[in-house]
Amino acid sequence: MNKKNYYFYIIASFALLTVAPGRFAFGLVLVIELNFLLLIGLLFRQLLKIIDIESLNSAMTLIATILSTVLFKQLLILISPLTALQLSFTLYLVPLSAILLGSLFLPKVDTLSNEIKSRFSVSGIFSIISLAFFLIRDILGYGTFTLPTSNGLFENIIIEGNIFESFTFFASTPGAIILFAVIYTIYFSIQNKKKDTNKDKPEVENVAE
């Protein structure tokens, strides 16, 4: 990815990670939604290709993504009404992440199976990072591990007492933004060091020669 794509990746991450409540259960729902929208988008683009109207690809895929988001929310209301209520408008921010991840970072491939493998290799990594982010917020902010249920949230208390009381800030949106910034600062520092190392390697080889 070039520098421009890094910025789009940050936007995709920010929309998904920082606005939602700091519970692993909510993160799990949003990650499932993200991958659901990616799959629908891929299938819909394949349909447009079959009926030979790829010129309308961008507009039609956007419409399909929005309609799929509405469908996902209705399914979530049926399965877990309280979870749908608590996530509220956050569910409508996920399409931004899905569109960016589905169109920016990988070239188009010929077959549907290869397309799915390519796109989900990116979304898989993104999903793991997202779930880890929500897990950290859940543990630091509440001392719990949560999962969505039909009645709301299943909550397993991992840390009892006030040991992490000072870390409850990370359960809030401002805390998530700071944690997000720290993680990406570390990530970009590692990437820059890798680039510097790769630049230095040819010079070392030339000296050796």
Domain regions of the chain by residue span:
3-208
Q: Does the pLDDT at position 107 exceed 70?
A: no
For 173, the token pair is 């949106």
Q: What is the mean pLDDT of residues 40-63?
A: 78
Cβ neighbours for 58, distance < 8 A, ≥ 6 positions apart: none
Tell me which H or E stretch contains 70.
helix 57-79
pLDDT for the residue 208? 43
Q: What whole-number distance in Å separates Cα of residue 124 and Cα of residue 130?
A: 10
For 200, the token pair is 């230095």
pLDDT for the residue 64? 85
pLDDT for the residue 151? 87
Q: Does the pLDDT at position 28 exceed 90?
A: yes
End-to-end Cα, the chain, rounded Å = 32
Tell me which H or E stretch contains 193.
helix 173-208
CA torsion 30→33→38→42, rounded to 10°? 180
Q: Does the pLDDT at position 47 exceed 70?
A: yes
On average, the pLDDT of the chain sits at: 79
Q: Which of 117, 119, 175 minimizes the C-alpha distance to 142?
A: 175
Q: What is the mean pLDDT of residues 188-203?
A: 67
Tens-digit pLDDT profile for residues 132-148? 889 988 988 888 899 99
Q: What whole-number distance in Å separates Cα of residue 131 and Cα of residue 26?
A: 9
Look up residue 149 and give its DSSP letter.
E
Q: How confident is the model at residue 205 (pLDDT cuts 50, 70, 90)?
A: very low
Query: Who has greater pLDDT, 64 or 195?
Result: 64
Of 1-10, 68-77, 115-124, 200-209, where does mean pLDDT reach its minimum? 200-209
Tens-digit pLDDT profile for residues 146-155? 999 998 889 9
Q: What whole-number distance in Å separates Cα of residue 42 and Cα of residue 98?
A: 11
For helices 3-17 and 94-103, the axis angle rounded to 10 degrees is: 150
Is pTM beyond 0.75 here?
yes
